[in-house]
Amino acid sequence: MDESRFIAGQAIAVGTGKVSVQRVLCANASMMTGPGTNTYVVGERDVAVVDPGPDMPVHTDAIMQALAGRPLKWIFVTHTHGDHSPGTSALQALTGASVIGMAPSPDALYQDAGFSPDRLFKDGERIVCDGFTIQLIHTPGHVSNHVCFLLEEDGLLFTGDHILQGTTPVILPPDGDMGDYLASLEHLRGLPLRALAPGHGEIMQDPAQVISTLVRHRMRREQKIITALQDLGPATLDTLVLHAYDDVAGHLLPWAKKTLLAHLIKLQRDHRASTDGDATDVATLWAPHRD
């Protein structure tokens, strides 16, 4: 699949597959969103949208312009963070489209509590659209209600925040889970993928290599955490993050600490680390597991 560069507010074709796919970049660039949230418009007649983005009228207008008068029948939402799902309500009100995704867990942080899919959707469900089929792939890890969507005709996977271009997603416990994240990556390895369309960044052409690189990165980070625990002995998250993430810029350490906690919870579950208290408390002492 060839790709063109894209700018906020303009619909740009992103592939040369069987099914028309356009991308509309939201003007919400930031430290956490990179160049902004990617909204994808799929199909030629009755069309689908993947991730309407934040509740920004200018972005909703840009999506409507990309539709160019074509009926919008389906809105697919990868997960319910504020940069991916809140624009659903306005877009559905304008078009009457069906909303497809998973509602957030009631106790999950940083979620769009107002998001409500039209019905309960499940892993592996296939939505037959106008000339194309989208399969739901439940990929918990970043958050528990994360879904990737596979455009079956082209092997194009819309990855939301599960796989990003040029960076790795933050895992947000307790709703996010490192063990689930790695298991979801392994599940994707077995799918007939040709390209990855992320929620932030550009199209990735070698899914197998991208997924393998992600897994290796997470395993290297896990080993670095274990080494830090062995060197330091009992330590808090605030101390551990300085050692296990010494390659990360200081302004990113608060987010690195969240993924560090996700790694530690996994290590505790694997009987490779232990804690003396609440696993969400930064003052909790973590140490290498001792039999």
Does residue 5 fall inside a structural domain? no
Report pTM. Answer: 0.94
Domain of 226: which CATH number? 1.10.10.10
Name the DSSP letter for residue 111.
B
Three-state DSSP class for 224? Answer: helix
Picking from 128, 137, 131, 177, the residue whose alpha carbon sits closest to that of residue 158 is 137
pLDDT tens-place string over residues 104-159? 988 788 899 899 999 989 999 999 999 999 999 999 999 999 999 999 999 999 99
Residue 291: its pLDDT value, please?
A: 57
Does residue 141 fall inside a structural domain? yes
Residue 107: its pLDDT value, please?
A: 79
CB 80 within 8 A of CB 52: no
Q: Are residues 52 and 143 in the same domain?
A: yes
- The domain in which residue 144 lies consists of 11-205
Does residue 4 fall inside a structural domain? no
pLDDT for 1 beyond 60: no
User: Mean pLDDT, to the nearest integer, of 231-240?
Assistant: 94
pLDDT for 2 beyond 60: no
pLDDT, the chain, mean: 93
Neighbours of 180 (CB within 10 A): 20
Does residue 6 fall inside a structural domain? no
CA 52, 84, 55, 118 torsion-angle sign: positive
CB 133 within 8 A of CB 148: no
Q: Are residues 66 and 113 in the same domain?
A: yes
Going along 34-190, which residue ranges are E strands?
38-42, 47-50, 72-76, 98-100, 126-128, 133-138, 147-151, 156-160
Last residue of a domain, one of 139, 171, 205: 205
Neighbours of 94 (CB within 10 A): 14
User: Angle formed by the axes of helices 253-269 and 237-244, to 10°?
Assistant: 100
pLDDT tens-place string over residues 31-74? 889 999 999 999 999 999 999 999 999 999 999 999 999 999 99
Does residue 18 fall inside a structural domain? yes
Q: Which of 82-96, 125-139, 277-291 is the least confident region?
A: 277-291
Residue 31: its pLDDT value, please?
A: 87
What type of residue sits at position 156? L
Does residue 3 fall inside a structural domain? no
Q: Are residues 74 and 184 in the same domain?
A: yes
Does residue 2 fall inside a structural domain? no
Q: Are residues 147 and 188 in the same domain?
A: yes
Cα 249 from Cα 236, distance rounded (Å): 19
pLDDT tens-place string over residues 239-257? 999 999 999 999 999 999 9
Q: Number of structural domains, the chain?
A: 2
